Every structure is written in structure tokens, then in C-alpha cells.
Structure 1
Amino acid sequence: MCTRYISPEDLEIENFWKIDRKTNDRKDWENLLKVFPLSLASFIRRVDEVDFARELVVGQWGMIPPWSASHIPETKPKKGEEKGKRLSTVNARTEGMEKSPTYKDAWARGKRCIIPAASYDEPNWETGKNVWWRFKRADGAPWGLAGLWNTWTDLQTGEVWDSYTMLTMNADGHPLMGRMHKPEVDKVTKLPLPLEQQDKRSVIPLEAHDFDRWLTCTVEEARTMLKVPPFELFDAGPVAG
């Protein structure tokens, strides 16, 4: 799963995705560069169900479930509890998202988005400790990562929040993504599980010719676009310093 990335400069997003600042409804145009869970950052979505135009908006990285009492994602409170436990929603597993209480509404309603990223980081544990690797596109273009978005209303203040999540899928056996993340171990033997049982994860980059299709196509078509990226797409290596 991805828990940190760098957003491109605003002008680069505007130019690459052909978004006109003058007609866009984004609330602020600050440079939102280093992005971590619960940060506010830029994502691209379809303007509405009729208009195919793209708009750039700022939302929270970490989908806010509809039952949350605050913008901090949480599980559903148990009987007798006022609040649930902190929930990580920066990444959504594509396997089972149709049934997920947090993601199923956004997926079913086609609330798909594109997350611009100059690069993103993943942990590599091959040395026995975490070494962060940085992932850029080999062609120098920014990433357009597949995501979902939704809105949440604060019942106390009436404030409406946009939030989003990155989609991930299994990457076991991938020559690059299969090397990332801390190996899972058997709960009894404490030994690493076989590679085919590791459930290594990958974000899902979209190619430029698929941007509009991802934002506008049917749910069935969108499912066919969920693919692990080919090795040749990457320029990746340990983060300097």
C-alpha cells in the first residue's frame, strides 16, 4: 500500500490534464506537494454526470466513511461506544470493494478519480530493515493513479468534505512491486510465507489515453482497467539520503 507521495506543481497538473484554472471550481491553488495520510491534496474528477469535462479539486487523502463522527476515518462504533477505532482508508483493495461499507457506494456510483503524482514511495525490506524506494514514470510524465472519491457532511457544522482513496491490487510475482513491503510471516512458525501468499500490493497507474474513459465509463468497463503496471513503466530506486 502507498502511504506517501509527491503531488506535481499546480501548473503541471493544469497543463498535463488540460484543466483551465479560470473555469475550474477548485477552492484553493496552493502548492500541495508532499502528501501523507489525512493531508489535503489535489485530485481530478468528472465535473458531473452530464458534463465530461475534468475538474481539479482538493480533498482529504483518506476516504471518510458515511458513519464517521469526524473527518478522521473510523470504524462503525460498537454498541455502547460513542466512537469507533481509527481506520486507514488511504488505499482501497480492489478485491471486495463492491461490498466494502466504506467504498461500495463510490464504486457503484462511478465516483472514480485520478490522483496526480510526480512520484510515490514504497517500503523495501530486502535488507531486513525498511528502505524507502521512490517510483517515477520512466517517460518523465506524472503518474495518474486510479482512485475513488466521495463527499461527507459534518453533522455538527454542516461543512462538506471531499475525500479520496487510491486503489490497489495484488502484485505477487511482479518483478518490481513484488519486492516491496515487509514480508508477511506465518503466525505459528514465524517464517515468511511463500511468495504466492504474500499479497504484495500495487497502485494502479492509468495511461493518458484512458483518463477520460476511467472517469466516464461504466462500472463493468472500469473493472477491466484495473491492472498491475508493466515493469518497463517504472523508474524506481532507493530514496537518496
Structure 2
Amino acid sequence: MCTRYISPEQREIEAFWRIDRRSNQRKDWENLLTVFPLSLASFIRRADEVEYARELVVGQWGMIPPWSKTNVPLTAQGKRLSTVNARSERMAKAPTYKEAWARGKRCIIPAASFDESNWETGKNVWWRFRRADGAPWGLAGLWNAWIDKETGEVWDNYTMLTLNADSHPLMGRMHKPDPKLPPDQQDKRSVIPLAVHDFDRWLTCTVEEAKEMLQVPGVELFNAGPVDAEVQEV
């Protein structure tokens, strides 16, 4: 699971992704580069009017379930939900994500880097992940819109998709292991970086085609290491 990442600056996002338009640039948005759960940050989605036009949106990191009475994600019983990450294996049936997935509400989450926890020393050491080629990540996500019934305000919101990474030589090393489970059944999770040539395809393709794109790339794409040390190429 990813619970913090660094967003590129707006001008960098617009230049790299060749943004056609911006929308919903919220007045309460502070353009924070380090993004935490429930922060407002930028994501990219397909513009409605033109099939291959990209739209830059500011929304909440953390999908808001349709039944939630506040922008803070809650269960129907009022218990807090963690919705910054969505398990891609379950999203088609999960109540919070299934509508967005079925309707093709896919998005790209720009990230200069993202952080994951590593427990190989017996304690948590944060690792930072950048692309080896220096380009920003384009992470696979879903988005939706939630309406505050009291104010009528529309909250765009998004989640990062994750995939099992037990067998991945790098991402399988992240997160705290469960001592009760064997190594191949830990369900270590990874975000899903999209290939640059797949950006438009991810935003516009069918659900079946999108399933084929849910993969974790090889280690050669990553430049990773402990946050407090110089990041070395893997």
C-alpha cells in the first residue's frame, strides 16, 4: 500500500502530459507536493468532450463511497474507511469502486516519487521510489465524484490501484511480513505504474483491455532506496 507520494508541480504535469485543459481547481487547494491520505492533489482523466483530450483535476486522495455522509470515507455504519488504495483483484465487486471501474472512470496519478515501508531490518525504514529514467510516474487509478447533500459541493476523488507483488524482486520486499504466512502468500502490494505509451489507452480503452494493463513493471524501471540515504539505482 502507498500512503504518501510526492506530486510534480502543476507546470511539470502540464508539460509532460500535454494537458488540454484544467478543471475544478479548488479554492481550498494548497498545491502541496507531499500528498497524504485525504489531501487534495492533481490527477488526470479523459475530458468528456474529446476522446483523447486530457483534463487535469484537483481532487481528494481517498475515494468517497456513494453512501458516505461526509467527504471523509465512512462505512454505512459510520466507521472510517481507508480508500487511498484499491485492490485491483477486488475492485469490480467492491461497493466503493465497482461503479467507477464499470463506467471506465480511470485516471492517471502523477507522482515524482512514492514511498513504501521496508521491514527487512526488523523495523520500518521508508523507501523512496523514482523512475530510473528521471521521468515522473503515471500511476493507475480510479476517480469518481461525490456530492455533499448539505452544500451541493462536488468533490472529485480518486484512489490508486494496487496489485499483488509477492513474486516481484523489488516490490515483494516492501511492507511488514505476516509471520503466520509463507513468503508466496503474503499479499505484498504494489502501485501500478503505467507505460508512457499506454497513457491515452488507459483513459479510453474498454474494461477488458484495461485489465491487461494491470501489471508491475520490471526492476529496471525503478530507482529506489531508503529515504534518509542517497537513493541508489536498483
TM range (shorter): over 0.9
Equivalent AA in structure 2 for residue 27 of structure 1: Q
DSSP 3-state at the match of 1:3 = coil
- CA distance in structure 1 between the partners assigned to 2:122 and 2:7 by the alignment: 30
Instruction: Tell me, yes or no, if structure 1 residue 194 matches structure 2 residue 182.
Output: yes
Q: Are the aligned partners of 1:75 and 1:86 in contact in 2 as well (CA < 8 Å)?
A: yes
Instruction: Tell me, yes or no, if structure 1 residue 92 matches structure 2 residue 90.
Output: no
- Describe the shift of the 1:49–1:171 C-alpha distance in structure 2 as closer, same or farther (beyond 3 A): farther
Q: CA deviation at 1:97?
A: 0.8
Instruction: Tell me, yes or no, if structure 1 residue 212 matches structure 2 residue 205.
Output: no
Aligned residue-pair number: 227
Q: In the alignment, what sits opposite 1:225?
A: 213
- CA distance in structure 1 between the partners assigned to 2:189 and 2:22 by the alignment: 34
Q: In the alignment, what sits opposite 1:55?
A: 55
- CA distance in structure 2 between the partners assigned to 1:3 and 1:99 by the alignment: 23
Larger radius of gyration: 1
Equivalent AA in structure 1 for residue 216 of structure 2: V
- Describe the shift of the 1:227–1:157 C-alpha distance in structure 2 as closer, same or farther (beyond 3 A): same
- CA distance in structure 1 between the partners assigned to 2:171 and 2:49 by the alignment: 35
Q: Are the aligned partners of 2:6 and 2:111 in contact in 1 as well (CA < 8 Å)?
A: yes
In the superposition, the TM-score normalised over structure 1's length comes to 0.91
Q: Are the aligned partners of 2:65 and 2:96 in contact in 1 as well (CA < 8 Å)?
A: yes
Given candidates 146, 151, 170, the residue that maps to 2:145 is 151
Q: Are the aligned partners of 1:26 and 1:55 in contact in 2 as well (CA < 8 Å)?
A: no
Residue segments in structure 2 that go unaligned for 5+ positions in a row? 230-234
Q: In the alignment, what sits opposite 2:23?
A: 25
Q: In the alignment, what sits opposite 1:172?
A: 166
Residues 91-128 of structure 1 show CA distances to partners (whole Å, capped at 9, x for unaligned) of 00001111000000000000000000000000000011
DSSP 3-state at the match of 1:24 = strand
DSSP 3-state at the match of 1:31 = coil
Q: CA deviation at 1:32?
A: 2.8
Percent of paired sites with the same residue = 78
Q: Are the aligned partners of 2:47 and 2:54 in contact in 1 as well (CA < 8 Å)?
A: yes
Q: In the alignment, what sits opposite 1:43?
A: 43
Q: In the alignment, what sits opposite 2:113?
A: 119
Q: In the alignment, what sits opposite 1:80?
A: none
- CA distance in structure 2 between the partners assigned to 1:40 and 1:24 by the alignment: 15
- CA distance in structure 2 between the partners assigned to 1:2 and 1:25 by the alignment: 26
DSSP 3-state at the match of 1:110 = coil
- Describe the shift of the 1:220–1:49 C-alpha distance in structure 2 as closer, same or farther (beyond 3 A): farther
In the superposition, the TM-score normalised over structure 2's length comes to 0.94
- Describe the shift of the 1:55–1:150 C-alpha distance in structure 2 as closer, same or farther (beyond 3 A): same
Q: In the alignment, what sits opposite 1:105?
A: 99
Q: In the alignment, what sits opposite 1:2?
A: 2
Equivalent AA in structure 2 for residue 85 of structure 1: K
Q: Are the aligned partners of 1:117 and 1:142 in contact in 2 as well (CA < 8 Å)?
A: yes
